[in-house]
């Protein structure tokens, strides 16, 4: 998975040979704020790329600039080596699936899908349209008007209408946002299948971290007009480089700590009087202070003095303050001696007992799962937004 | 017993009474179109005839000429007002320019001002501009376009404002040039509004008496003709025209309603 990110960096240096979508120094200023701030981005050809971020982070503006519906204040956008920054939208080999679908209400499904081909004066319209309708399983609905279709069907018409033009890049602006959860999951798989089948470059904008992680090869997490971190989903999740990514993508426990020593491969941090170690490759803080991060499912919980399978970091003195039983897992809140409550997810494998409110416990985790973040960053950055959406 | 019976049906009865009240004048017009009056000055039903329908222009001197003038002015005024008003509506909805909000306000004024004021000020304008001797067809047309314009702008603007502008973005995204976007997407979607505005314009123009009368010079429109012959006895053929006008409006309204229902059924 991390290969994709590596290729991104490799091709970024070679310059002209890059045949995907490239943004360089792209900035978009609106009257009162900067939506996108000096953005550099490379989307390799044929990849499924997700721009993930909370509402107002600039992801949709970025997409609209690629589509030509907004003009960047500065910077360049190139596609397969060609500068398209100022090309009119109808001159770009780029198509968009709009959040509202924007299907033409006066045209039937067939004509909606045929729209792009007809505008480009293509001879054979019927064949490709029928093929496309088959791909999205709407053949029987061809003569219906968009208003007669369900949300999921409309979404597939919007997709077919864009895909049929075989664009260099297909832009998807929160295309699943209007669907209910079950349908959304089904469409995620469907989109992924279609992308693999047609092999086009997809750029998918979403605020749903689960959606981004399940579908995309590469995810760019955007916040306040800049990209916080870019990489394969597992890489972003396992090794976040900022508190925003740590909180927006899943949940994290962030504990204040003071760096005691830095060796070649390991950083030792004094965390409220307890020494914990963090692999050097996962330490993203230069200063003396930092946030030690650990995902709740990586934290093990046990009785005081119980030997847990996590050599290295053991933190005694916890008290269970909240227990939420989910069936497959249990979520604990544990108050630590320094007053902070940490989250622990434990799978209900049946091999371990359930802890109760007020139980005295010990927490521990394997050092290789911990990460260290810059203390200047807000420990709660991205947490609210991630939880809300 | 009767009290209760009445209470349960009072709304229905009142409704029927109002309907009758509305339709009695129309029924009389239709009836009179088949009438031979006892004498020229007595407007009463006497004997049944089809002559009025067979030869409406005979015996009603000048009526058919005035009808022709009214239809011509109506069609031209509709064309002029619809084109200008649609363009104005697009400008008001789609473009931000200095004076947009005051224009939005000013466009309402002709609808709000009394016709007699509008008519006399138009007359004053024409006269002071040196058209005193040329009052007639063209001054009527100018006046009609003027007062229809506001109605067109208001109708089309409402339709345009309700339109999702991502549809146009989607068209552009799908390789449609601005011209193609307009004719393939914008225009078909705004067309019902434009059509409604055109129908409204025609009926406003055809119907108008006050403004027309003040600016007509020697030209006579149909409403002016009816007004003029009123003292000498109205020829029954006027009722034929009235009945026809009523039938045309009914056909348009019922047709529109049927079309809507068909569409609603298709959507259901």
The DSSP secondary structure of A44-102, one letter per residue, reads: -TT-EEEEE--TTSSHHHHHHHHHTSS--SEEEEEETTEE-TT--GGGSSEEEE-TT--
Residues A335, A255 contacting (CB under 8 angstroms):
no
B167 shares contact with chain A (CB less than 8 Å): yes
**Quick one: chain B helix, strand, coil %, rounded to 5?**
75, 0, 25
> B5 at the A interface (CB within 8 A)?
no
Instruction: Tell me, yes or no, if B244 comes closer than 8 A to chain A by beta carbon.
Output: no
Q: How far apart are CA B157 and CA B191, in angstroms?
A: 12
Q: Is B163 on the interface with A (CB under 8 A)?
A: no
Strand partners, A329: A347
Does residue A231 share a domain with residue A277?
Answer: no
Give CA A208 to chain center in angstroms.
7
Collect all residues of chain B within an 8 Å Cβ-Cβ radius of residue A116.
Answer: 174-175
Strand runs (DSSP E) across chain B, as ranges?
35-36, 47-48
Domain boundaries, chain B: 1-60+235-257, 62-234
Give chain B positions within 8 Å (CB) of A100: 164, 166
pLDDT band at B212 (very low <50, low <70, confident <90, very high): very high
pLDDT at A265 over 60: yes
Residue A166 sits in a domain of what CATH number? 3.40.50.300
Residues A308 and A260 in one domain: yes
Q: Which of A238, A266, A294 marks a domain boundary?
A: A238
The CATH number of the domain holding residue A336 is 2.40.50.140
Would an 8 Å CB–CB cutoff place B169 in contact with chain A?
Answer: yes
Select from A61, A68, A70, A104 the residue whose CB has the most chain B CBs within 10 Å, as the one to mutate to test that interface: A104
* Across A359-373, B31-45, B62-76, B120-134, least confident range: B31-45
Local structure of A253: helix, strand or coil: strand
Q: How confident is the model at residue A383 (pLDDT cuts 50, 70, 90)?
A: confident
Which segment of B144-148, B207-211, B231-235 scores lowest on mean pLDDT?
B231-235
A166 contacts chain B (CB < 8 A): no
The count of domains in chain A is 2
Q: With beta carbons under 8 A apart, name residues in chain A contacting B264.
A: none
Are the Cβ atoms of A89 and B169 closer than 8 angstroms? yes
Domain termination residue (choose one: A238, A259, A277): A238
- Distances from the Cα of B48 to the Cαs of B35, B38, B51, in angstroms? 5, 11, 9
Q: Which of A91, A99, A115, A145 to mutate to test the interface with B (most CBs of B within 10 A)?
A: A115
The arithmetic mean of pLDDT across residues A303-317, rounded, is 77
Using CA coordinates, name the residue in chain A closest to B165.
A102
The predicted-structure confidence for B163-204, as pLDDT tens digits, reads as follows 888 999 999 999 999 999 999 999 999 998 999 999 999 999
Gap from B186 CA to chain A (nearest CA, Å): 10
Question: Among the three residues A181, A209, A238, which one is the final residue of a domain in this structure?
Answer: A238
Question: Is A102's CB within 8 Å of B188's CB?
Answer: no
Taking CA–CA distances from B185, the nearest residue in chain A reads A104
Same domain, yes or no, for A218 and A334? no
Q: Which of A102, A106, A120 sits opposite B170 (nearest CB)?
A: A102
- The whole-chain average pLDDT of chain A stands at 88
A203 and A224 housed in the same domain: yes
Token representation of residue B79 = 């064309």
Of A78, A144, A69, A76, the closest CA to residue A113 belongs to A144
**A88, B172: Cβ pair inside 8 Å?**
yes
A216 shares its domain with A149: yes
Q: Can you say how many angstroms the Cα of residue A46 is from the centroid of all Cα atoms in its chain?
A: 18
Any CB–CB contact under 8 A between A141 and chain B?
A: no
Interface touch A148/B267, C-beta < 8 Å: yes
Helix (H, G, I), strand (E, B) or coil at B114: coil
A 259-298: CB under 8 A from B? none
Query: What per-residue confidence (pLDDT) applies to B197?
Result: 94
How much is the average pLDDT of B82-104?
91
pLDDT of residue A115: 95
Mean pLDDT value of segment A308-331: 85
Quick one: A222 and A178 in the same domain? Answer: yes
A62 phi and psi angles, rounded to 5 deg = -60, -45
Percent of chain A exceeding pLDDT 90 equals 63
Contact of B195 with chain A, judged by CB distance below 8 Å, is answered with no
Kind of pairing, strands A218-223 and A226-231? antiparallel
How far is it, in rounded angstroms, from Cα A167 to Cα A96?
9
Q: Could you tell me which CATH number the domain at B62-234 has?
A: 1.10.3720.10
Residues A131 and A247 in one domain: no
Q: What is the pLDDT of residue A387?
A: 44
Chain position carrying tokens 């025209």: B241
pTM for this entry: 0.79
pLDDT digit string (tens) for B1-22?
Answer: 778 888 888 999 999 999 999 9
Please check the confidence at residue A386 and state whether its pLDDT lies above 70.
no
* pLDDT band of B107, cuts 50, 70, 90: confident
Q: Which residue in chain A is spatially nearest to B167 when comparing CA positions?
A: A102
Q: Are A116 and A103 in contact (CB under 8 A)?
A: no
Q: Which domain does A270 fall in, by range?
A: 243-388
The reply to whether residue A90 touches residue B170, judged by beta carbons under 8 angstroms, is no
Do both A323 and A191 map to the same domain? no
State whether ipTM is beyond 0.85: no
Whether A188 and A308 map to the same domain: the answer is no
Is residue A298 located within the same domain as residue A348? yes
Residues A89, B267: C-beta atoms closer than 8 Å: no
Share of chain B above pLDDT 90, in %: 55
Q: Does A250 share its domain with A234?
A: no
d(CA A88, CA A97): 18
Contacts A155 to B, Cβ<8 Å: none
A169 and A301 assigned to the same domain: no
Percent of chain A with pLDDT strictly greater than 70:
93
B173 inside 8 A of chain A by CB: yes
Transcribe A314-380 into DSSP letters: EEEEEEEEEEEE-SSEEEEEEE-TTS-EEEEEEE--SSSPPP-TT-EEEEEE-GGG-EEEETTS-TT
């Amino acid at each position: 998975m991390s290969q994709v990110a590596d290729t991104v960096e490799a091709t970024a240096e070679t310059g002209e040979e890059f045949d995907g979508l490239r943004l360089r120094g792209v900035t978009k200023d609106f009257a009162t704020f900067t939506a996108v701030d000096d953005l550099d981005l490379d989307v390799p050809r044929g990849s499924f790329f997700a721009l993930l971020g909370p509402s107002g982070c600039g992801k949709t503006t970025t997409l609209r600039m690629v589509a030509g519906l907004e003009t960047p204040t500065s910077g360049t956008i190139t596609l397969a080596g060609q500068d398209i920054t100022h090309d009119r939208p109808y001159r770009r080999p780029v198509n968009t699936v709009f959040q509202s679908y924007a299907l033409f209400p006066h045209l039937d499904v067939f004509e909606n899908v045929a729209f792009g081909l007809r505008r480009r004066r293509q001879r054979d319209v019927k064949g490709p349209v029928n093929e496309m309708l088959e791909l999205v399983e709407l053949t029987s609905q061809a003569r219906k008007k968009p208003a007669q279709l369900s949300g999921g069907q409309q979404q597939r018409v919007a997709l077919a209408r864009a895909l049929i033009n075989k664009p260099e890049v297909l832009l998807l602006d929160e295309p699943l946002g209007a669907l209910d959860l079950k349908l959304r999951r089904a469409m995620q798989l469907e989109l992924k299948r279609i992308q693999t089948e047609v092999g086009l470059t997809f750029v998918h904008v979403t605020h749903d971290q689960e959606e981004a992680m399940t579908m995309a090869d590469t995810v760019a997490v955007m916040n306040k007009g800049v990209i916080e971190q870019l990489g394969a989903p597992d890489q972003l999740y396992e090794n976040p480089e900022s508190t925003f990514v740590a909180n927006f993508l899943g949940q994290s426990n962030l504990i204040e700590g003071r760096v005691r020593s830095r060796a070649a491969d390991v950083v030792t941090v004094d965390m409220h009087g307890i020494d914990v170690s963090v692999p050097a490759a996962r330490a993203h803080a230069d200063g003396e202070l930092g946030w030690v991060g650990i995902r709740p499912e990586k934290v093990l919980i046990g009785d005081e003095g119980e030997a847990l399978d996590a050599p290295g970091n053991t933190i005694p003195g916890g008290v269970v303050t909240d227990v939420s039983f989910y069936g497959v897992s249990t979520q604990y809140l544990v108050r630590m001696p320094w007053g902070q409550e940490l989250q622990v997810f434990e799978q209900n494998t049946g091999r371990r007992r359930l802890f109760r409110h007020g139980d005295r416990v010990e927490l521990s985790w394997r050092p290789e799962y911990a990460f260290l973040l810059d203390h200047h960053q807000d420990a709660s950055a991205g947490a609210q937004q991630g939880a809300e959406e | 017993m009767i009290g209760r019976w009445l209470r349960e049906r009072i709304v229905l009865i009142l409704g029927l009474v109002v309907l009758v009240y509305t339709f009695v004048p129309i029924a009389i017009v239709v009836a009179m179109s088949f009438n031979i009056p006892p004498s020229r000055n007595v407007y009463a039903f006497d004997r049944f005839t089809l002559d009025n329908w067979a030869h409406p222009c005979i015996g009603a001197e000048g009526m058919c000429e005035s009808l022709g003038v009214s239809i011509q002015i109506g069609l031209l005024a509709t064309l002029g007002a619809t084109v200008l008003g649609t363009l104005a509506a697009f400008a008001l909805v789609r473009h931000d320019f200095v004076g947009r909000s005051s224009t939005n306000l000013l466009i309402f004024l002709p609808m709000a001002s009394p016709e007699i004021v509008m008519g006399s000020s138009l007359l004053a304008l024409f006269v002071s501009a040196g058209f005193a001797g040329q009052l007639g067809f063209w001054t009527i047309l100018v006046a009609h376009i003027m007062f229809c314009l506001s109605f067109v702008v208001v109708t089309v603007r409402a339709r345009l404002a309700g339109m999702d502008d991502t549809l146009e973005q989607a068209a552009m995204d799908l390789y449609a040039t601005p011209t193609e976007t307009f004719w393939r997407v914008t225009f078909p979607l705004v067309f019902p509004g434009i059509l409604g505005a055109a129908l409204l314009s025609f009926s406003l123009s055809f119907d108008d008496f006050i403004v027309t009368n003040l600016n007509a010079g020697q030209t006579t429109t149909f409403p002016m003709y009816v007004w003029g012959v009123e003292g000498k006895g109205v020829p029954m053929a006027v009722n034929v025209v009235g009945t026809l006008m009523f039938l045309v409006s009914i056909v348009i309204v019922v047709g529109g309603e049927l079309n809507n229902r068909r569409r609603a059924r298709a959507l259901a």
